């Protein structure tokens, strides 16, 4: 293990902020047996610590150390299930709502910005998380060319942040759909007295037309077996002169799974699409109008979330436990490191149906 860590300039029990501090030597055998799953689980159990966990994992990812250790039976089974079964079917997709998005509105309210946007912010000319998320919402609205009176569909509307912003600033009507009961309740409260309808609904049951469609941070839960059906559903929901904006995390290669620890503890059955997978899914359905890469912004966003989470922990800790705290810190730190190392990316993609012959001008 020392030899592996040396490749990433990491020392065991060293003095630098990114050096790993090992409290229990059973960690080493577990890492060789179970790989990244054991690394996260052992941190949750307090077997090791690190002052700058994001910097430690950044170095591990850049040196590809996570690909040099074994995967245990659970990780192999997870991979096989992703190959032979639809892990994002109507029934299976409920798992991520129950395990993650319904964990508690108090947690997300404490961690996120005032509009509770749980997706990458846009940090150009922004000093605070609130400003950066407002920037992101404004950028999306401008890319969609919103006009008063248009009807907009928000697939995976979260706690209603985009719907609220678009209805207030651009005078559009918004239908937001979510599979999370916790999100539904709070989104309805936040969007009361606005031309906004929030529904508990799966995207596959849509059967109506909209001027614009937007999906912000939801496509990661669609799954590669459903990409074609998802895009066809969006195309069917979009008027002939409409626009669709897809805001999604993306990967550099085409995979069918995500990291086993993230799958087990944070986002069950999620996966990141690749450029190739998205490209195949839109063939004969959409024209690509714009593709904007924003990955470095997610590193900043995740670190801002972590700062807010740590600051708020004393107010919310009664509902959770220490293992949950360590799990959440590990989640935010390692995800930030993945974007910093450019293994993950963030894309905003604007698509139009072939029937829309209007010239599109990209917005930055």
State what percent of residues in the chain have pLDDT above 90. Answer: 84
Can you give the residue ranges of every domain in the chain? 2-70, 91-319+344-352
Interval 29-58 mean pLDDT: 94
Rounded Cα–Cα distance for residues 200 and 310 (Å): 31
Please state at what angle helix 129-143 crosses helix 295-316, rounded to 10 degrees: 130
Q: Rounded to 5 degrees, what are φ and ψ at 71?
A: -110, 135
Residue count of the chain: 364
Please give the structure tokens belonging to residue 155: 């697939």
**CA contacts within 13 A on the Cβ side of 126:** 19
DSSP 30: H
326: Cα separation from own chain's centroid: 19
Which is the catalytic residue, given 50, 157, 191, 335? Answer: 335
Is 50 designated active site?
no
Tens-digit pLDDT profile for residues 226-260 = 999 999 999 999 999 999 999 999 999 999 888 99
Tens-digit pLDDT profile for residues 171-199 = 999 999 999 999 999 999 999 999 999 99
pLDDT-based confidence at residue 276 (cuts at 50, 70, 90) = very high
| Edge-to-edge strands, sheet with 173-178 | 196-200, 173-178, 151-155, 210-216, 238-251, 344-352, 287-293
Interval 205-219 mean pLDDT: 97
Question: Where do we find the tokens 């999620």?
Answer: 270
* Four-way CATH pick for 91-319+344-352: 3.20.20.70, 3.40.50.10490, 3.40.50.150, 1.10.10.60: 3.40.50.150
Interval 71-81 mean pLDDT: 51
């Amino acid at each position: 293990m020392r030899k592996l860590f040396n490749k990433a300039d990491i020392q065991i029990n060293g003095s630098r902020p990114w050096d790993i501090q090992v409290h229990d030597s059973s960690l080493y055998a577990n890492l060789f047996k179970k790989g990244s799953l054991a690394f996260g689980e052992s941190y949750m159990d307090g077997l090791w610590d690190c002052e700058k966990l994001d910097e430690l994992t950044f170095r591990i990812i850049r040196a590809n150390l996570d690909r040099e250790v074994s995967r245990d039976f659970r990780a192999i089974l997870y991979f096989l299930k992703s190959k032979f079964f639809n892990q994002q079917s109507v029934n299976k997709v409920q798992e991520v709502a129950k395990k993650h998005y319904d964990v508690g509105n108090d947690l997300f309210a404490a961690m996120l910005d005032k509009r509770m946007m749980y997706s990458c912010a846009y940090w150009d000319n922004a000093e605070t998380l609130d400003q950066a998320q407002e920037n992101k919402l404004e950028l999306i609205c401008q890319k969609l060319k919103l006009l008063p009176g248009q009807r907009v569909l928000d697939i995976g509307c979260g706690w209603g942040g985009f719907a609220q912003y678009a209805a207030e600033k651009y005078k559009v009507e918004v239908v937001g759909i979510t599979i999370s009961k916790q999100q539904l309740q709070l989104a309805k409260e936040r969007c009361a007295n606005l031309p906004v309808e929030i529904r508990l609904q799966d995207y596959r049951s849509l059967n109506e037309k909209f001027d614009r469609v937007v999906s912000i941070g939801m496509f990661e839960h669609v799954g590669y077996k459903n990409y074609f059906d998802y895009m066809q559903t969006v195309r069917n929901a979009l008027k002939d002169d409409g626009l669709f904006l897809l805001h999604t995390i993306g990967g550099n290669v085409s995979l069918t799974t995500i990291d086993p620890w993230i799958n087990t503890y944070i986002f069950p059955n999620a996966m990141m699409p690749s450029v190739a997978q998205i490209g195949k899914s839109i063939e004969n359905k959409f024209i690509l109008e714009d593709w904007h890469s924003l990955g470095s912004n997610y590193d900043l966003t995740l670190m801002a979330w972590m700062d807010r989470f740590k600051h708020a922990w004393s107010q919310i800790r009664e509902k959770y436990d220490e293992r949950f705290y360590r799990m959440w810190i590990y989640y935010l730190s390692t995800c930030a490191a993945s974007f910093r190392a450019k293994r993950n990316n963030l894309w905003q993609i604007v698509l139009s149906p072939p029937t829309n012959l209007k010239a599109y001008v990209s917005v930055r």
